[in-house]
Chain A
Amino acid sequence: MKSLLKPIFGAATVSVAAGMLCGCASSGVRNPSGVAVTQMRPDEQGFVAGTGVESQDLVAVTDKMWKSMLTVPQIANAQGAPRIVLDPVENATRFPINKDIFLSRIRAELNSKARGKVIFLDRERMATLEHERQMKLAGQVTASADPNVVEFKGADFFLTGKLSGLTTRTGAGTSDYILYTFRLTDARSSDIVWEDSAEIKKQGLEDAAYR
């Protein structure tokens, strides 16, 4: 008798235990104590990641670019600091991004770490600068130099870039390759005096529930 009941009750108990584990194990509050704010370095991959352009890519790419740019003879051996104007980067990937951030970081890094080697012209603020000059010309504000003399400088070089991408998406996941190219063009001759690139490939697969 007992030998008959044992397997039945045993099976029932195992079923119940399995049921409780499977059915409700994941139904509790996720991170019930919360998740503390995690400060991360911008050059490390966080626990939230996609296959697109992320901060660690931005840091890696721009660090490589500004360091590489300083080695070009036209800048390293220039008589006086060359003047550079930023020309918007073209985004040819599948990821909509704030692409100006690349040139902003390159400019900031060069201005802070290679002070005096190059000078960037603030063409983004030309309307404001022109307005200030007009006020000086009209005598509305004081001028420390003759406002009739145009002192806005012309560019020696244009710095620009392009982000190009290749994407593959299959049942096995999504793969994104992005090629970052930046170049410095001589404003007088149109010669490309420097160009460098960086490439990053990422792959990911979403949970089967989304496939």
Chain B
Amino acid sequence: MKAVCGIFAAIIPLLVSSCATRPPEHPVVLTGNIMVDGPTAIEHGPPRDKVLWEYRTAAAAMRQGKFDLAKRYLDDALTTLQGVYGPDPGAKKARGYFHSEAKKTFIGEPYERSMAYIYRGILYWMDGERDNARACFRSAEIEDGDAENHEYAGDWVLPDYLDGLATAKLGGDGTDALKRAQLNCKAGGLQAYDCKANVIAFLEFGPGPTKYATGEYRQELRFHVDPSPVRSAQLRVNGNEYRVSIDDDVWYQATTRGGRVMDHILGNKAIFKNATDIAGNVALIGGGAAILSGNGHDATANEVGAGLLAAGVISKIFSAATTPEADVRSWDNLPRYLGLATFTLPVGRHVITCEFRDNRGQVVPALTKTITVEVPQDAKDKVIFISDQALTPQTI
């Protein structure tokens, strides 16, 4: 028995002390205002969550017309995303039995990575850099390129459509990209390119997908989406109405990626957790039974029982320390739907009104946006970003 006590006495301090050098967590007090919480979390929060907060803050900044801020955060996030190849200590930990998946540096699931590229592409286009915008739209498709079911690989519509439009406006042939977009467009009716259109309006609306976990140990990643109060949108300017095509559903993209390699790892962790738990139970019961069978007078039975109890406790400790929980950190202010409208306006100032409509086609007045735009004399496109969550009125 002394030996058993000795083992326990050695285990506990070692288990505790061996983790004493763990980096300190950085508690961030959240206010609920993303434009306050985002910069605070980026600056003072855990480094592994930095990209997550950069994504969130960039999306919020775009809705407030703070495009320079959005660029800064997206550029930093995409730099991390583009350098993710090879060994990564955080990711290695996440694969270990005793660290949760959320220990890894967040770069997001493919739909989140694609959205980061789509937003950055819009911002490049706003700056007149069509080729860099196109590069972003291409990367958005590539991020979606390894879906488990190839039918869903690289099946975003808007990035392909804009890839082709940028190519056409740069004097190239964008028909291949247009064909891909038309093939993947469930709603159909994608406009043929009008290279003379000098206004490009990107629209987003509805609450996007978030993540949650299911399974005995919360090891299975799932996606949730709330019903969107908005189902369509229309633009009005100078007495003309312009249809907005709804090209992409972000929730669809989130749910069609299929199984991840990490899901297998989490599954194995769950099996290990379960097996060590069962083994611990068996050893504890066996050890107790052995001690009871000798009525406490059989020294051999006592020592065998004590040994089994020790092994059972150790097995239970391993089970308890195993963390198969899926990483449910989400870019939680993404939109559900992405849309586009292109049209021509004369040079000068115009007021554009955007009306969002519910599933019965009724205007949702509280969400109506007014944007004053200045169409430039040069050949640059006037790019407008409109969200149902955007501040209104805006002048861009």
Contacts and interface: CB of A to CB of B under 8 A. Distances in A.
B22 A26 contact: no
Contacts of A1: 299-300, 303
Interface stretch (B37-45, B90-98, B343-351): B90-98
List the 7 shortest-distance A-B pairs measured between CB atoms, nearest first.
A204-B85, A8-B307, A207-B91, A169-B145, A94-B138, A209-B91, A23-B98
Interface string B169-181: 0101000000000
Contacts of B131: 90-92, 99
A14 to B, nearest CB: 10
Nearest to B304: A4
Given A23-B321, A206-B84, A208-B95, A8 B21 contact: no
Contacts of A204: 85-86
Contact of A32 (B18, B21, B132, B134): B21
A55 to B, nearest CB: 13
Nearest to B24: A29
Interface string A14-35: 0110011011101111101000
A15 B318 CA distance: 9
B34 interface: no
Interface string A140-165: 00000000000000000000000001
B139 interface: yes
A26 B135 contact: no
Nearest to A94: B138
A210 B131 CA distance: 28
Interface in A88-117: 90-97, 99
A94 B142 contact: yes
Interface of A: 1, 4-5, 8-9, 11-13, 15-16, 19-20, 22-24, 26-30, 32, 48-52, 90-97, 99, 165, 167, 169-171, 173-174, 204-211
Contacts of B107: 210
A19 B145 contact: no
Contacts of A167: 138, 142, 145
13 contacts: A5-B3, A5-B303, A5-B307, A23-B96, A26-B99, A27-B19, A49-B86, A92-B172, A93-B138, A174-B142, A208-B91, A209-B91, A211-B261
B89 A30 contact: yes
A16 B92 CA distance: 21
B146 interface: yes
B155 to A, nearest CB: 14
Interface residues of B, number: 67
B142 A26 contact: no
Given A28-B21, A170-B145, 18 more contacts: A5-B3, A12-B7, A19-B314, A19-B317, A20-B14, A20-B18, A23-B98, A24-B15, A24-B18, A29-B21, A32-B21, A51-B82, A95-B82, A96-B139, A97-B135, A207-B91, A209-B101, A209-B262
- Say what secondary structure dominates the interface of chain B: helix
Contacts of B98: 22-24
Nearest to A209: B91
Contacts of B93: 26-27
Interface of B: 3, 7, 10-11, 14-15, 18-19, 21-23, 78, 82-89, 91-99, 101, 104, 107, 120-121, 124, 129, 131-136, 138-139, 142-143, 145-146, 170, 172, 260-262, 265, 299-300, 303-304, 307-308, 310-311, 314-315, 317-318, 321
A204 B146 CA distance: 14
A24 B19 contact: yes
A50 B139 CA distance: 13
Contacts of A9: 3, 7, 307, 310
A82 to B, nearest CB: 26
Contacts of B135: 91, 93-97
A28 B41 CA distance: 22
Contacts of B94: 209
Contacts of B21: 27-29, 32
A169 B145 CA distance: 6
A194 to B, nearest CB: 22
A193 B89 CA distance: 51
Contacts of B120: 96
B145 to A, nearest CB: 4
A97 B75 CA distance: 11
A23 B120 CA distance: 39
Contacts of B134: 91-92
Nearest to A26: B93
B124 A96 contact: yes
A95 B139 contact: yes
A24 B304 CA distance: 30
B96 A208 contact: no
Contacts of B311: 8, 11-12, 15
B83 A13 contact: no
A4 B86 CA distance: 47
B79 to A, nearest CB: 9
B84 A96 contact: no
B265 A209 contact: yes
A56 to B, nearest CB: 14
A20 B15 contact: yes
A86 to B, nearest CB: 16
B290 to A, nearest CB: 11
